[in-house]
Amino acid sequence: MTEAVRYEREGSVAVITVANPPVNALGLAVRQGLWRAIDRFAEDDAEIALIVGEGRLFIGGADISEFGKPPIEPYLPDVCTHIERSTKPVVAAVHGPALGGGCEVALGAHYRLAIKGARFGFPEVKLGLIPGAGGSQRMPRLTGVGPALEMMPAGGSVTADEALEIGLVDRVAEGDAREAGLAYARELLESGAPVRAVGTLPRPADDAAAFDAARALWQKKSRGEVAPLRAIDAIEAATRMDLDQGVHEERRIFLELMETPQRAGLIHAFFNDRKVAKLPEIEGIAPRNMAHVGVIGGGTMGAGIATACLLSGLSVTLIERDAAAADKARGTITANLDAAVKRGKLPADRRDATLSQLSTVTDYAELSDCDLAIEAVFEDMAVKHEVFARLDAVMKPGAILATNTSYLDVNEIAAATKRPGDVIGLHFFSPAHVMKLLEVVVADATAADVTATAFALAKRLGKIAVRAGVCDGFIGNRMLATYRGAADRMILDGASPWEIDAAIKTFGLPMGPFEMSDLAGLDIGFMTRQRKAATRDPRDVVPTWADAMYHEGWLGQKTGQGYYVHEGRKATPNEAVKPLIEAARAGRPQRSFTPEEIQRVYMAAMVNEAAKIVSEGIARRPLDVDVTLLYGYGFPRWRGGPMQWADTVGLPSLLTDIKEWSKADPYFWQPAPLLEQLVTEGRCFADLNKEAAQ
Ligand code: COA
């Protein structure tokens, strides 16, 4: 086994290299290696030490896979203090990211050199934690509390130049970290630079106003997430305590957070982001070439998809039915790109060149050169059939034909072509150039390299792809239909739409289901109900008040009223909906709901449907459900996802509730067989994720 930390001499400089691929995480071997290297440096005649990271970055932080397990000595705070207490100077030369513990190791050193392209950040809150090795105590001693308050509660980072500006580093250099670091170390030696421990610098000045403002901001922003506020507490400790006490207090908060379900949920989400693309069916399969994308339809969705492709450097040919519609689509895409410039997603000087990669056309023949065509036309099977037959006629061999349908049968769409192996569903979420989720809907005949290409496309577009199978609504919208159904039933039983929205927001979602209806437009739900009417089970519940609202012309935000009356950005409950709901409730017994009951019913419906989706193979693993809800439906990341939530609250109690509710409504509350099986076997969804990884 190669050493995780190497110690070498370059004349009077001791070079300590962290070499723990892929990200030089500070696992036990690295912590032990750093400790021993500092001891060795103390004993030999080297005059200065240089710490560098091998590979593409300095240090990616603590080893996240160790979190949740009993920590083993030496602990990272002690390693940083050990570095700081060296009686001979220590320099850190940072290239690429220095995150969390990586930043803290650099702060333990006496001098910091940043190589252009370096990033210094404290992402711990994104894992439900705060810096745990003195970062919250040392950084403010160098920069004052302001920059720390900006960075730590947000989990943010700064560039090399910004780090220099705020005093986090001493110098910025170009080139190789080891070479530039050696030059800097020798220069420090020549100038007789002393040991300069950050921890011995005076405490940063307290700034009550800055702390009040940060707390007010994060109280509002964090929606139930605790770590950002606790990071502020830790920074405040630095203004009141000497280093040892402060590091102790920081560690106390860190360990307290380590025990929370929020930390477990966020780490579950971190690893899922990476596991979701690991599918045996595409492992080792090369994706097809992709440079030129055709988009069929230039409405909001088509224009959004085209924008996403252009922003990632692909050429786009967009087809519309006539020149006027094509011009309109171009206008929408231009506006999207302008907005991307404003948001800093596209450099202003790249805007025209990006737009020049777009052609808007009206003739299908112009798609003949495309590697991939994505259809985003009206959701109607006959229309889709026509489009796919035309695509089949013009697209070159080997091109991929994709549909952006959000619920239609992709097998049936593929049947309109002579090449079903090249057909796949690419379900984008609106606005497609902003939303991160891409549901990759794999049909019966879809070739493995077509699926692999869809995952590669998602990566290129900066999106997270989830594999889904064919069913009405795939993973996300099928679950949405069910938990919406649960919300509608609660309305019939006595809850108000506004109570439900409030309870769901308290749970951590950005919006409740009825606010969502107003945003999407009540016509969408109405159309869906119409579509499903012919096959609806007579025991199903129809929200007749929502139909009545549709007939009143109350379509939500776009008409100024729906469940809410919308005036500018202000939304107030629409009292006129109440009589419509009353009429629908006629004769049903009514009761009141606490916010907790609302959350419980809503979430149980979500999890029960998801368990069915997993057992049918529509989602391969529970983690695919979690990622879908996180990136497509605003599910709070700190809860990890609905399946992680279910594991946290316990599957037996959920099943007991579902069985209880099924006495009154046996049609809606049919327990998922998978849920019953897991409870019988004493297992949970995480066990299924683990089994799938083996
Ligand atoms: N501990 C353990 N494993 C880590 C890790 C960490 N701190 N950071 C990354 N990894 C793993 C990833 O899970 C991935 O494993 P896999 O290949 O088995 O899927 C691998 O290292 C590469 O990571 P990836 O994110 O794909 O590489 P990247 O080059 O895109 O990004 C980082 C590198 C360091 C910027 C990114 O991984 C990151 O942000 N890591 C988290 C850093 C962090 O939060 N540190 C503070 C911990 S308190």
The model's pLDDT over 591-606, given as tens digits with 9 standing for 90+, comes to 999 999 999 999 999 9
Query: 474: left (phi > 0), else alpha (psi -120 to 50), else beta?
Result: left
Structure tokens belonging to residue 261 = 């379900």
CA–CA distance, 569 with 390 (Å, rounded to integer): 43
Q: Which atom of ligand 1 is nearest to the CA of 57?
A: 34
What is the spatial distance between Cα 396 and Cα 418, in angstroms, rounded to a whole number?
Answer: 13
E-strand spans in 320-477?
A: 358-361, 372-375, 400-403, 423-428, 437-441, 464-468
CA proximity to 115, closest of 55, 181, 49: 181
CA of 24 to the centre of ligand 1 (A): 9
3 state SS of 688: helix
Give 159's strand partners: 119
**Residue 15 confidence (pLDDT):** 98
| Cα gap 415→406, rounded to integer Å | 18
Task: Indicate which atom in ligand 1 lies nearest the CA of residue 274.
Answer: 19
The CA-to-CA distance between both ends of the chain, in Å, stands at 24
CA of 23 from ligand 1 middle (Å) equals: 6
Ligand 1 atom nearest 64 alpha carbon: 1
Question: What is the whole-number distance in angstroms between the Cα of residue 480 and the centre of ligand 1?
Answer: 31
Alpha-carbon gap, residue 429 to 160, rounded angstroms: 35
- H or E element at residue 663: helix 651-664
Q: Whose CA is nearest to atom 9 of ligand 1?
A: 23
- Checking 530-539 for CB contacts under 8 A at 24+ apart, the result is 537/667, 539/667
Cα separations (Å) of 288 from 197, 340, 452? Answer: 54, 28, 8
Instruction: Spell out which residues line ligand 1, taking CB within 6 angstroms.
Output: 22-23, 25, 60-65, 97, 99-101, 123-124, 127, 129, 274
**String of b and e for 170-189 (b: at least 16 CB within 10 Å)?**
bebbeeebbebbbebbbebb
- Closest atom, ligand 1, to C-alpha of 270: 13
456: left (phi over 0), alpha (psi -120 to 50) or beta: alpha
Interval between CA 129 and ligand 1 midpoint (Å): 16
Tokens 């404003």 belong to: 342
**For residues 546 and 485, what is the distance between their CA atoms, to the nearest angstrom?**
12
Closest by CA to 563, choosing from 656, 626, 614, 491, is 491
Instruction: Specify the 3-state DSSP secondary structure of 652.
Output: helix
For residue 242 the two structure tokens come to 């000497």
Distance between Cα 9 and ligand 1 center (Å): 30
Whole-angstrom Cα Rg for the chain = 28
Q: Whose CA is nearest to atom 18 of ligand 1?
A: 274
Residue 71, pLDDT score: 87
Q: Closest residue (by CA) to atom 25 of ligand 1?
A: 274
* 3-state SS assignment for residue 400: strand
Looking up tokens 């440096």 gives: 41
Low-confidence ranges of the chain (pLDDT < 50): 1
Total Cβ atoms within 10 A of residue 8: 12
Token duo for residue 207: 């700034």
Q: Provide the pLDDT for residue 222.
A: 85
Residues with active-site annotation: 104, 124
Q: Among 23, 66, 152, which residue has the most ligand 1 atoms within 8 Å of its CB, making it the best to mutate?
A: 23
Q: Are 58 and 103 in contact (CB under 8 A)?
A: no
Distance 176 CA to ligand 1 centre (A): 22
Mark out the alpha helices in 276-425 (DSSP H runs): 300-311, 323-342, 351-355, 381-394, 410-414
**pLDDT value at residue 505:** 95
Q: Which atom of ligand 1 is nearest to the CA of 126?
A: 44
Q: Which residue has the tokens 């020798």?
A: 186
What pLDDT is recorded for position 693? Answer: 86
Strand partners, 402: 374, 424
Nearest CA to ligand 1 atom 16: 274
DSSP letters of 140-174? HHHH-HHHHHHHTTTT-EEEHHHHHHHTS-SEEE-
Residue 402, class by beta-carbon neighbours within 10 Å (0-12 exposed, 13-18 middle, 19+ buried)? buried
Nearest CA to ligand 1 atom 36: 60
Nearest residue to 298 via CA among 325, 272, 273:
325
**CA-proximal residue: ligand 1, atom 44 (nearest):** 123
> What is the C-alpha separation between 364 and 285, in angstroms, rounded?
30
DSSP reduced 3-state for 631: helix
CA atoms of 344 and 25, how far apart (whole Å): 30
Q: What's the predicted TM-score (pTM) here?
A: 0.91
